Amino acid sequence: MAVRKYHPVLVILHWLVAILISLQLAGGYFTVAKMANSDPAKLSVLQLHMIGGMLILVLMVIRFIVRLRTDHPEPTESQKTGIGRLRTPLHLGFYVLILCTVAAGWYTGYLISGAYATPGATLPADLAQFPSRIIHAWLALALFLLIVLHILAAIKETMSGDVHILDRVGFGKRKD
Ligand code: HEM
**What's the Rg (C-alpha) of the chain?**
19
Q: Is the CB of 59 under 6 A from ligand 1?
A: no
Instruction: Tell me the C-alpha distance between 29 and 106, whole Å.
Output: 17
- pLDDT tens-digit series, residues 124-135: 999 999 999 999
Instruction: Tell me the C-alpha distance between 78 and 158, whole Å.
Output: 11
Instruction: Tell me the C-alpha distance between 77 and 117, whole Å.
Output: 55
Which numbered atom of ligand 1 lies nearest the CA of 108?
35
50 within 8 A of 111, measured Cβ to Cβ: no
Instruction: Tell me the C-alpha distance between 170 and 167, whole Å.
Output: 5
Q: Is the CB of 42 under 6 A from ligand 1?
A: no
Q: Determine the residue of 17, 19, 32, 122 to mutate for testing ligand 1's pocket, defined as the one with the most ligand atoms within 8 A of the Cβ atom.
A: 32
Which numbered atom of ligand 1 lies nearest the CA of 127?
40
Q: Is the CB of 123 under 6 A from ligand 1?
A: no
Structural domain spans, the chain: 8-169
Predicted local confidence at residue 162, as pLDDT: 65
Grade residue 95 by pLDDT with cuts at 50, 70 and 90.
very high
Residue type, 174: R
Q: How many helices (H) and strands (E) does the chain have?
A: 5, 0
List phi, psi (to 5°) of 11: -65, -45
Q: Residue 38 Cα, ligand 1 centroid: separation in angstroms?
A: 18
CATH architecture of 8-169: Up-down Bundle (1.20)
Q: Is the CB of 137 under 6 A from ligand 1?
A: yes
The torsion angle over the Cα atoms of residues 127, 128, 134 and 138, rounded to 10 degrees, is: 90
Instruction: Over range 113-120, report the average pLDDT.
Output: 90
Atom 33 of ligand 1: nearest residue by CA position = 105
HSE, side-chain direction, 13 A CA sphere, residue 88: 11
Instruction: Tell me the C-alpha distance between 12 and 28, whole Å.
Output: 24
- pLDDT tens-digit series, residues 43-83: 999 999 999 999 999 999 999 999 999 998 888 877 888 88
DSSP 129: G
Q: Is the CB of 98 under 6 A from ligand 1?
A: yes
Single pTM value for the model: 0.93
Instruction: Tell me the C-alpha distance between 73 and 153, whole Å.
Output: 16
